[in-house]
Amino acid sequence: MAAQRLFVWKFGGTSLAGTDRLRAVAERLVAAHRAGHQLVVVLSAMGGSTDELNAMAYSVSGRPQLRELDALLSVGENISCALAAMAVQDAGARAVSLTGPQAGILTDGAHGNARLREVRPERIRQELATGAIVLVTGYQGISPAGDVTTLGRGGSDASAVAIAAGLGLHECEIFTDVPAVFTADPRVVPGARPLAAISRDEMLQLAAAGASVLQPRAVELAAAHDVDVHVRSSFTNEPGTWLQEGAVFESFEITGIAHRDREALYTVTGASPATIMAALAERGAPAGAIVRNGSEIHLTAPGVEEPEVLEAVSATGAQIVLLDELGSVSLVGTGIGRRPDTMARALQALEAEDIEPLLVTSTPSRVTFHVMRRAVDRAVRRLHTTFGLHQAAAVALALDRAARSVS
């Protein structure tokens, strides 16, 4: 009989969309439990329910208080865990559901985008010792004041990695609706290829640029606590993608392309860039690009909820206008920001498609083009072809790099 192992698994909202899928997850947990394994399982809210709760909040208030919004949005994960515990019981095993506070997930007090401070998994260990499958609500924790907090969009990923680290583990499995991390969104690029492995830095860049398979903060936590993350499908047994530490020696290959269909552009008058940054920083909301044009400040805040940006900047007394005509497309690969030929080649490809970026930003591992929303998908497809990411050779190179990084 195989030795007993402790696993931390996370299931996303699409894996729990409806009672049939929820039962399927429960059966998977029971099968692993019967094989002798201990399980701590982090669950998101059932598919679409967080958006429904958010819409409900804005139907009664034009600008709901962030504390109360957290109290509302955290309910979705509570429902998932309670229902999953019932389904596990019916499938023949015992489960206990714990909220983030019960599981010992401690955060700061920044409602809507709280930062994890500590995980104290004593209650989790106690329940595991009784033989239970432990189900933990993702996305939520508790502030020093005792209030429920949420960790931002996709925060259940961060919950899972943090719990794995808190339990002293170096692996965490994320089950989602895609079979792997791809070179681009396969819904936009049918020829996109799955990656067997990817470095944490490259995955962080993809996630920060809009690849929704993992939350950026989860990747940061994985790097900080040396946790290898395995992205897998909830619906198949495909091998998935390993996210792990890997050194790439002077490689300038393009790993993948990420995009955002909509990346809001804010125009602010009546405040300096320093004032704007300070207001956002107080809420833990990072800005992206900041450009001054006369008396106006234009900025992006990718990954930050629009109401949070609007409230933070408005609190300074400045005027802020939201424009939603732009999206973004990003090339990701270690070192590409230091290769001027990469940006030149990309701009030539976009020009051939009659796509003119309104803003271009770069880091050592990422180049981002801000284009009109209607042109985002065309830009992704053209760049994917231009850099040969659809070719089998590109996949072979990625696999070879991954093998070298773990050997």
Within a domain: 24: yes
Asked if residue 153 lies in contact with residue 45, where contact means CB atoms within 8 angstroms, the answer is no
- Count of Cβ atoms closer than 10 Å to residue 96 Cβ: 20
Token pair for residue 256?
A: 């993948």
Q: Classify residue 17 by its DSSP letter.
A: S
Mean pLDDT, rounded, for 22-46:
96
For position 393, what pLDDT does the model report? 42
Asked if residue 183 lies in contact with residue 193, where contact means CB atoms within 8 angstroms, the answer is yes
For position 247, what pLDDT does the model report? 44
Within a domain: 388: no
Token pair for residue 281?
A: 């920083």
CATH number at residue 70: 3.40.1160.10
For position 407, what pLDDT does the model report? 41
Q: Which of 177, 200, 215 is the last residue of a domain?
A: 177
Do 36 and 168 reside in the same domain of the chain? yes
Q: What is the pLDDT of residues 4-14, one digit of tens each?
A: 799 999 999 88
Q: Which of 177, 201, 234 is the last residue of a domain?
A: 177
Mean pLDDT, rounded, for 324-350:
89
For position 246, what pLDDT does the model report? 63
pLDDT for 99 beyond 50:
yes
Do 155 and 40 reside in the same domain of the chain? yes
pLDDT for 250 beyond 80:
no
Asked if residue 383 lies in contact with residue 331, where contact means CB atoms within 8 angstroms, the answer is yes
Residue 130 burial by Cβ neighbours in a 10 Å radius (0-12, 13-18, 19+): exposed
Within a domain: 343: no
Q: What is the pLDDT of residues 267-281, one digit of tens each?
A: 999 999 999 999 888
- Lowest-confidence region among 37-46, 94-103, 104-113, 386-395: 386-395
For position 287, what pLDDT does the model report? 82
Do 158 and 287 reside in the same domain of the chain? no
Q: pLDDT band for position 153 (50/70/90)?
A: confident
pLDDT for 245 beyond 80:
no
**Three-state secondary structure call for residue 170:** coil
Which residues form the domain of 308?
268-322
Mean pLDDT, rounded, for 166-175:
96
pLDDT for 34 beyond 60:
yes
Within a domain: 345: no
Do 280 and 155 reside in the same domain of the chain? no
Do 41 and 162 reside in the same domain of the chain? yes
For position 3, what pLDDT does the model report? 57
Angle (CA) 81 84 87, round 5°: 155
pLDDT for 326 beyond 80:
yes
Average pLDDT, the chain: 89
Within a domain: 123: yes
Q: pLDDT band for position 286 (50/70/90)?
A: confident
For position 39, what pLDDT does the model report? 98
Do 281 and 172 reside in the same domain of the chain? no
Half-sphere exposure of 284 (CA within 13 A, CB side): 14
Within a domain: 130: yes
pLDDT for 63 beyond 90:
no
Number of domains, the chain = 2
pLDDT for 395 beyond 50:
no
Within a domain: 356: no
Within a domain: 386: no
Q: pLDDT band for position 62 (50/70/90)?
A: confident
Mean pLDDT, rounded, for 359-364:
85
Do 173 and 274 reside in the same domain of the chain? no
Do 285 and 172 reside in the same domain of the chain? no
Farthest-apart Cα atoms in the chain, separation = 71
Do 169 and 300 reside in the same domain of the chain? no
Q: 380: which residues sit within 8 A by CB, 6+ positions away?
A: 184, 185, 188, 189, 257, 259, 329
Q: Which of 128, 146, 177 is the last residue of a domain?
A: 177
pLDDT for 144 beyond 50:
yes
First to last CA, the chain: 29
pLDDT for 172 beyond 50:
yes
Token pair for residue 274?
A: 């320093």
Q: What is the pLDDT of residues 185-243, one digit of tens each?
A: 999 999 899 999 999 999 999 998 989 889 989 999 999 999 999 999 988 888 999 99
pLDDT for 1 beyond 60:
no
Q: Are strands 133-137 and 38-43 parallel, antiparallel or unpaired?
A: parallel
Angle (CA) 205 206 211, round 5°: 145
Do 280 and 141 reside in the same domain of the chain? no
- Lowest-confidence region among 120-124, 175-179, 389-393: 389-393
For position 308, what pLDDT does the model report? 80
pLDDT for 248 beyond 50:
no
pLDDT for 167 beyond 60:
yes
pLDDT for 46 beyond 60:
yes
Do 163 and 287 reside in the same domain of the chain? no
